[in-house]
Structure formats: structure tokens, C-alpha cells
Chains A and B, each alone.
Chain A
Amino acid sequence: MRQKRNSDPAIVKWGLIAAAMLYLGVTLFLPLACVFASALQKGLGVYFAALVDPDALSAMRLTLLIAAISVPLNLVFGVAASWAIAKFEFRGKNLLLALIDLPLAVSPVISGMIFLLIFGAQGYFGPWLIERGIKIAFAVPGIVLATIFVTFPFVARELIPVMKAQGNDEEEAAITLGANGFQTFLRVTLPNIKWGLLYGVILCNARAMGEFGAVSVISGHIRGLTNTLPLHVEILYNEYNFAAAFATASVLVLLALVTLVAKRSVEHKFRLEKTGGNPE
């Protein structure tokens, strides 16, 4: 009885659930369904033809290459930065924290433009680079740099709270037991943060593969050379090649779904890690 008096009427509960479902339906499920419907509109033949198109394949290769470079780099950077922030006191710590958040605060287009401003032909280092025949803007190195910039907060932001909550005790215990720095990291720190790290890497990877704004500015959209998957979708779309555009887009959507599933399954273990429970 008591419970009934304190709870809202059923109509409120179901009303809210219905509203949430409707909202998600219109903004998420409908577009998702549309992507696959449009992709398969002209049949499976056209769908797969769009995927094995040389330009599409090269876009996929480039996207994978960029993720393969930027994710490991951000993993190393993220672990180092969160280690420094969580376990040491130093001047400029707050500045470092703010800088880590910077890519999340600025529009990705601006991130791309920054690199253009630095490495572009009219940029600060442009002439110097051109003289030496080094291409950064409108080439793969530029795309990699922009992607690293946009995705570097993900790993660090996941790890900082985990490491802060865990403190230094276990590392100090390992040292008193005779472990050196590397052994301490490998046997104590890393296992303690592994789920948080994986979680950060999944998010980082999803963003690295899906980044559009920053990459769009710096890449120059050179087909077969500097086109990533999201850019390739845009080009096809602008050419009114809808079936191919959506077919390519469906690859990105599948990637997103895989990411979501992976994220969900890691999330549970990650929470245990945060609260200090053991994952067995």
C-alpha cells in the first residue's frame, strides 16, 4: 500500500516510456532503417557493387589505417596522461586537464582548420614543408594528425577517474615487494584499469573511424587517396548516387552497432572495476 501511495500513477509511467520510445523511434530507429532500406533499394547486387568499388575499398583501407595509427597512439598518450594526472601532484595539472578536454569543446571543423593553418600551403610551416617535399595537408599524415587531435580525450577521460579512485596503494605495495617500475605497471596497474582502458579504446576507435568534420577540412577529398569512409559517403551523396551512398553508410552503421554491443559488454565489468569489486 505504502509503495502505491508514493509511486506515480501508471499513466505517467507509461506516458513517459511511450514518449521516450517515440522520440528515439523518430530520431534513431527510423533513420537507421532508412539507411538500410535505401542501401538495399536497388537490390543486393548494387549494394555489394558499391562496397567493392575501388574508391570505396580505398576509403575503407584508409579509414582502417587511420584508426590503426591514431588509436594506439592515443592509448599510449591516454595512459601516460591519466597516470600523471591521477597519481602525481604538479603545477599545471588543471591546465593539462583542460587541454585534454579541448577537442571535445571545439567544433571538429575548427580542429581541421587548425592543422590546415599550420601545415597548409599558406600556413606557418607550409612553405618550409613544400621546399622539402613533405606533404601533410591534403595527405594521409594530415588526416592522421587531425584524427589524433579529435580523439585524444577518449582514453584519458575514461582512465583518470578509475586511476584516481584506485590511488597509489597497490603500486606502492608492489614496489615494497621488490617489483620494478615496469613490473608494477604490467602486473598491477594495467590489470586494474584494463576494462576502463578497453572502454576508452572502443569509444576512441568509433570516433576515429567516424570522424567527418576535421578530416573533411584537412583531407582535400582526393578520391582513392585521401577519402575516408565518411567522406566517401558524402561524395556519393552529393553526386545523387543514393544507393551507393547508403550502402557505404551502412558499413559505418554496422560499425556503430558493433561498437555499441562491445561497449555494453565492457561497461558491466568496467563498473565492477570502478567500485573495486572483482570481475570474476
Chain B
Amino acid sequence: MSIEVRNVSKTFGNFKALKEVSLKVETGELIALLGPSGSGKTTLLRIIAGLETADGGDILFHGEDAQDKKTKDRNVGFVFQHYALFRHMTVSENIAFGLRVLPKKQRPADSEIKRRVSELLHLVQLDWVGNRYPSQLSGGQRQRIALARALAVEPKVLLLDEPFGSLDAKVRKELRQWLRRFHDDLHITSLFVTHDQEEALEVADRIVVMNEGKIEQTGTPDEVYHYPVNRFVQSFLGNVTTFHLRGSEVPVRPHDLAVSRMKEENSIKATIYYVNTAGSLTKMELKREDGSLILAEVTHDEFRALGLGKGAEVFVSPKKKILPEYSI
């Protein structure tokens, strides 16, 4: 089911959480709402779910106005940041909840509910936890159960609020790849909120970059990363160093920087402040004369060839290959 948001605004007291936001999500897409905290991304998600009411604007589900529909009638699955599993119910009872509260006529028989629950447990690869309570599960397991519970009612739209926000780094990485595969299998229209650009870039079909209640840019991960429309998007999606070339400002990502002993045209003078060789690239923090830091990523071979360590003086310039139009 497609979702359309038209000129939606929302104010909390004096705080403008959303300012005339418009967005179209196509059926089957996996969209990331990316932005810093306070950018309005969670508010937008909650308005789509009907958990908040917009002050103005329209929400359309499949072209139909959904504003008057209550949350329970919108047929959305919502996965909360802190899982919000029912603590007094077992995992199976949690997953069955959405089916058990159906009106009697639509409610499946007990045996059918049981079958669906075990099917969903299998889907999230947690067949063995059915009789446990949420407090007996790890964070990653709880998140998957929360997802299974949301899917039990066969929602047309899946909304996830910081789904990996409270998990440790390793589980986070595993789960986001899992979510990506999961979406590829089910093809349910999904929106997830995140403040982690890496997560958005890795998982989403399209990224909606938000800041201060407005959408700054919408595009594929490739588009927003390589062709940011403004400085905010540019710096939010990763570190950049700005060079002044022929009167224009050129932003350069850390891995597109060349570090050398020789002074070149347009290069910036800096001293090596910190070096981290752990990982697939060598990460260098370079201190400019004005005290600001530049982040550069070079290959281990390049770092060895440079042959310099902490405190040495270097010159930083953009790699030539990325700037054909400036032909330095």
C-alpha cells in the first residue's frame, strides 16, 4: 500500500516538530527517515500510524484519506524503539494479541492462532522462545518478537521507530542486514526512523533526510551520499572537508582525500594528530593550523608509503580522480 503525506504540520507547545512536510512512499518500498534528534522523524512516523494527530495536512493510504481513521483501523504494524512487549504475557501471547482482540466474527480459531504464532516465530528465527517472558530475552530477540507481533495482523504498512536504537553495535549490524533480507522477501511497504546514517545507507531503498521539522532531501542512498543538495545533508551523511577551488566550495569525503609530504596546489597544511590503523582503512585525524580537525581515510599501503607518524607535518588535498571538472 502506498502512503502519501501532504503538507503535514505538527506543533508541541512552542516547538514546531513538523513544518509542511510532504512525502510519497510507493508500495513495497523500504524507506529510512534519517535525521538528528528533534528533526521530526519520529513525529512523522507516529502521525502516519495515527498515534499523533497532525495540526494540518493530509495523510493518504493508497490514495484514500486516512486522517479520520483511528490507529486500530489503519492496519499499520508499529515497532517501538523500546519494543513495548507486553511484560505480563509470554512471547506467544504477545504475538497472538493482535489476533485475539479481533471482533469475534473475524477472529481465527485457537488452533489457527497457534499455527500462525509458530509460523511467525519461525519467520523471525526464534522458534524456541514461545513460552518465555519478554524479560527473559536479549534486546535483539525482543526486537524480533516485536516485529513478529506487528506482522501477526498482516499490516499493509510497517513502521519502525529506531528499530535498532537500543542494541549493541554487533547485534545492530546483524539485525539490519536481516531486516533488509526480510523486506526483500515480504515486500511490505516499510518506513523506519533512524539517526544513524550508516544504517540508513545500508538498509533503505530511499532515504528521507530530515532536519528541524523539514525534509531536506529524498533520494536513493547513492544520491543523498554523493549528490547532497545542501550542506546539512552533506555533513549529516558523513564527514566532509571543504576545499576552495576556483571560487567554489568543494566538499570532499574522508576516503577521497590524499595525504602527502609535498605541498601541492590547493592543499591544506596540517599535522598528524591521531592515527588508527585498526580496520580496513587507516583513519587519520589531522589538525589544521587553525586548530580544526580533518578526518582522512587512506589505505594501509598508502599510509606505509607515507612513512610518517603522529606529530608530522603533511599536506591534504582532494584525490584528483574525483574532481575532473576542476582539472587541477
Contacts and interface: CB of A to CB of B under 8 A. Distances in A.
B135 A177 contact: no
A173 B135 contact: no
B77 interface: yes
A192 B87 contact: yes
Interface residues of B, number: 28
Given A169-B84, A192-B87, A276 B135 contact: yes
B80 interface: yes
A175 B133 contact: no
A174 interface: yes
B88 A178 contact: no
B84 A175 contact: no
Given A276-B135, A277-B135, A278-B133, A176 B97 contact: no
Nearest to A172: B51
A191 B49 CA distance: 25
B71 interface: yes
Contact of B101 (A170, A183, A192): A183
Main secondary structure of the interface of A (DSSP, over half): helix
B153 interface: yes
A172 B72 contact: no
Nearest to A177: B98
Interface in A149-191: 169-170, 172-180, 183, 187-188, 191
Contacts of B188: none
A278 B72 contact: no
Nearest to A171: B84
Contacts of B77: 176
Contacts of B85: 170, 173
Contact of A179 (B87, B97, B133): B97
Which of B49, B86, B134 has the most chain A CB atoms closer than 10 A to its own CB? Answer: B86
Nearest to B149: A177
A173 B101 contact: no
B150 to A, nearest CB: 7
Contacts of B315: none
Interface string B125-156: 00000000111100000000000011011000
A170 B86 contact: yes
Interface string A184-217: 0001100110000000000000000000000000
A280 interface: yes
Given A178-B98, A187-B101, A278-B133, A173 B88 contact: no
A126 B72 CA distance: 51
Contact of A173 (B73, B80, B133, B136): B80
Given A176-B77, A177-B150, A276 B72 contact: no
A140 to B, nearest CB: 39
A169 B42 CA distance: 14
B87 A178 contact: no
Nearest to B71: A175
A156 to B, nearest CB: 22
B80 A172 contact: yes
B51 A188 contact: no
A175 B86 contact: no
A276 B288 CA distance: 51
B47 to A, nearest CB: 13
Nearest to A184: B101
Interface string B276-318: 0000000000000000000000000000000000000000000
Contacts of B255: none
Nearest to A190: B88
A277 to B, nearest CB: 6
B49 A176 contact: yes
B71 A176 contact: yes
A192 B136 CA distance: 17
Contact of A280 (B76, B78, B133): B133
A135 B97 CA distance: 50
B109 interface: no
Interface in A98-144: none
B245 interface: no
Which of A172, A174, A177, A188 has the most chain B CB atoms closer than 10 A to its own CB? Answer: A177
A231 B224 CA distance: 79
B135 A278 contact: yes
A128 B247 CA distance: 90
A280 B134 CA distance: 12
B80 A169 contact: yes
Nearest to A175: B71
A277 B97 CA distance: 20
B102 interface: yes
Interface in B100-119: 101-102
23 contacts: A169-B82, A170-B85, A170-B86, A170-B87, A172-B84, A173-B78, A173-B149, A174-B97, A174-B101, A176-B77, A176-B150, A177-B153, A178-B98, A178-B102, A179-B97, A180-B101, A191-B88, A191-B89, A192-B87, A192-B88, A276-B135, A277-B135, A278-B87
Interface of B: 49, 51, 71-73, 76-78, 80, 82, 84-89, 97-98, 101-102, 133-136, 149-150, 152-153
Given A187-B86, A192-B87, 20 more contacts: A169-B80, A170-B87, A172-B80, A173-B85, A173-B86, A174-B86, A175-B51, A176-B76, A178-B101, A178-B153, A179-B72, A179-B97, A180-B101, A187-B97, A188-B86, A191-B86, A191-B89, A192-B88, A277-B135, A280-B133
Please name the 9 residue pairs, one residue from A and one from B, whose CB atoms are nearest each other, closest first: A169-B84, A177-B98, A176-B78, A173-B84, A179-B101, A278-B133, A191-B88, A178-B72, A175-B71
Interface of A: 169-170, 172-180, 183, 187-188, 191-192, 276-280
